[in-house]
Chain A
Amino acid sequence: MTKVVLPELGAGIEKATISYWFFNPGEKVNEKDDLVELVTDKATFNLPSPATGILTEILIPVGEPAHVGETLAIIEE
């Protein structure tokens, strides 16, 4: 199991809002695929998938905030 964690995004950024999930739960993802897009201030940024496997769970839906270090989703290899 791999946790998709929101990494450090620069000084002073504690959270970002989920703006787009590129996959639905149950779908297969490959490592480095665009997995989720987030928005902070006037910037969007993507988070690539950290592993290849099945995206089993999305823990934070679109429109909700996520904090740095928080788990956004679970991938089962």
Chain B
Amino acid sequence: MEFKLFELGLIEFEQAWRFQKAVFAQVKEGSLASALILCQHYPVITLGRLSDKRNILASQDELKAKGVGIFQIERGGDVTYHGPGQLIAYPVFNLQLFKKDIHLFLRRLEEVAIDLLSDFGVTGLREPGLTGVWVHKSKIASIGIAIKNWINFHGLSINIKKDDLSGFRMVKPCGMDIEMTSLEVETGRDIGIETIKENLITKFKGI
């Protein structure tokens, strides 16, 4: 799919969320066909619709001391953590130009992550009945989207750096007991976020 690319760098979740909604409005009114937003977030916890606050394991005091905000947002899925070292992609895609099929789009997002991992020699797998991408039963990519008027927003988060995983201990990701892994952990080498971005953009063009 063709899209306009926005690279926001390391940005507070709330600021990127606002930006995403502004881009969504442009796609809705038709001044933009589709867009892909790439960024990293400072540590933050987000809760999807119908999520259970008990899945936030860290105390209010701990979160306050670490400056970690909590946002209740409109995507599907339960609680998750984002922090530097995760590459976040928000495809603000008009699904009327793709196919009006919610699950197909979720599978395509998984495919983007699986193909990206494969570029680095890592085999990513789907878990039956769950959304996301796993390597040896540890989760490496998380997905949570919102579709309004058949335009998607929110998206995909891929763990790249090895030192960003401790933040996940503050939550019970997706409300489940999940081990997290990252591309650096799986490959045993340093991978720059900048290096991987180009690969990711190519995969999204293939959707």
Contacts and interface: CB of A to CB of B under 8 A. Distances in A.
A19 B102 contact: no
B147 A46 contact: yes
Contact of B77 (A11, A20, A42): A42
B147 A44 contact: yes
Interface string B75-119: 111000000000000000000000111111110000000000000
Closest 9 CB pairs of A and B: A10-B101, A45-B147, A42-B131, A19-B49, A42-B77, A42-B76, A43-B76, A44-B76, A44-B146
For chain A, what secondary structure do more than half of its interface residues adopt (helix, strand, loop), or is it mixed? strand
Given A9-B102, A13-B102, 7 more contacts: A19-B49, A39-B50, A42-B131, A43-B105, A43-B146, A44-B49, A46-B148
Nearest to B74: A44
Given A34-B148, A42-B144, A42-B145, A20 B49 contact: yes
B50 A42 contact: no
A42 B130 CA distance: 9
Nearest to A17: B50
B50 A45 contact: no
Interface of B: 48-50, 74-77, 99-106, 131-132, 143-149
A4 B48 CA distance: 25
Interface in A10-47: 10-13, 17, 19-20, 34, 37, 39-46
A61 interface: no
B98 to A, nearest CB: 11
A37 B50 CA distance: 11
16 contacts: A9-B102, A10-B104, A13-B102, A17-B50, A39-B76, A40-B102, A42-B76, A42-B145, A43-B76, A43-B102, A43-B147, A44-B145, A44-B147, A45-B146, A45-B147, A63-B50
A53 interface: no
A41 B50 contact: no
A41 B102 contact: yes
B90 to A, nearest CB: 14
A46 B102 CA distance: 12
A20 B73 CA distance: 12
Nearest to A10: B101
B59 to A, nearest CB: 27
A31 to B, nearest CB: 13
A13 B131 CA distance: 14
A48 interface: yes
A42 B49 contact: no
Given A44-B49, A44-B146, A46-B149, A9 B76 contact: no
A10 B103 contact: yes
